[in-house]
Structure 1
Amino acid sequence: MSNRGNILNMSYLNEPVLNIIVVGFHHKKGCQVEHCYPEFVPGKPSELPILWRYLPALALPDGSHNYLSDTIFFNLPDPTDPTRTVYGISCFRQIPVEQVTQKTEDMTRSSVQKSVCVICRAPLFGRLAVKMELVVRAWFMQGNFSETTLLEDAYKHLNSCPVQIDQTLEGLSVLKLVENWRHKALLLFKLLLLGRKVLIYGSPSGQLSTALLSLISLFPRCLEFGLSRSANVTV
């Protein structure tokens, strides 16, 4: 199953996770990559492909500091084939700086904000989000962000056994979509059928991401097989 161009034609996917990336907020530089495993450039754990230059802003969107934790879903171009898509799950948390045992010079604010992103080859948003939220919580409890062994172990664990493509629907609820959006859910569904461009914004990002994926799941097999080129769209 090493042919990434055909992964969504298969029932099972081996080694679904490409990278685990840590994004932090610097008080002068803004959002920036702090660690990537496995490394793209040996010896430079903060280097990412140019096609992923917007990843820090996607992982820590505006307004995320208003929440103690959140989960954000996003898409990126595949660095080996820009016409195809890889999928990102970002688990954001912030804690008081007093809870950090190994402080660095850039920790000048009252809280520390970081996101841990999982980049995967299939849209396993809900499934991976549940697993990574637990990992990120444990990593923050360590209080030492320079120690990334826990994240590297998570990468190996997530790739230790195949996953089913049908697991892309885990964590989504059409019922919640209808309860929260009511008649607007039907309106959005019709607009998508008509191929209209729609801008949707809201906060927190995690709830909005889940709602949009639930909306897409109303189209048969669209979530599993229809997003492979979603990062290669000109608006």
Structure 2
Amino acid sequence: MPAALITGGSRGIGRGIAEQYARDGYDVAVNYHSSETAAEDVVETIRAETDGDAVAIQADVSDSGAVESLVETTVETFGGLDHVVNNAAISQHKHTPELTVEEFDTLMQINATSVFSVTKAAHEHLLESAVGEGPSVINLSSRLAHAGAPHEPHYAASKAGIIAITKSHAKEFGPDIRVNAIAPGYIVTDMTDRTNTAEDKRERREKLPLQRLGEPEDVGQAAAYLRDARFVTGETLNVNGGQDMV
């Protein structure tokens, strides 16, 4: 089977993408930082409900050495690597006056620099891929990359940087590897639940043309499209329920 590596694949959007890829016939490396139990649950679900295999691999994607090991373990486990999804990220709600330079740098390292380092480590293996649709990299950005954020400027900046990396790598790696991004709007995950009340969610939902909030499976479907879209590269797919129209 072809193989995919999903960083931050143990929860939320990452889990939604990992399970979608497994349903589509891929073996999946589920990277996690600290939530081993959650990652193993994803692995067990994939093995029980699909024909694919999965493995949980711990790695801090802000550590370049750990990233190299992550990619090599994936290749050794599955015999190759065909697709990468750079999803690992953290969020931190702080206004500029209370935000330290160190906090800014740490978030940028985890969210944006990791996209570069994981892709760099995977590059030579992706070039060896023989999947019919061709190998691909998908980077998770955010609607806030376009809109900005009044309470987490470093998060918005990191996600905007991911779009620039996506376009640069699409130009650099074409025609061999397609590189695209997804910019989700509000997706219901444990991360968004920590910072939004039920009333916040209701107000968000009522403003959307689709009248519902996003779910990890919605992003998984978008990732599956970009993974297989042979004539799409350097693009950012907005998955936000029509939020940008209102």
TM-score exceeds 0.5: no
Structure 1 or 2: more strand by fraction: 1
Would you tell me which structure has more helix in proportion to its own residues?
2
- The structure, 1 or 2, with the larger RCO (C-alpha pairs under 8 Å, 6+ apart) is 1
Using structure 2 for the length normalisation, give the TM-score. 0.30
Q: Which has the larger radius of gyration?
A: 1
Give the TM-score normalised by structure 1.
0.30
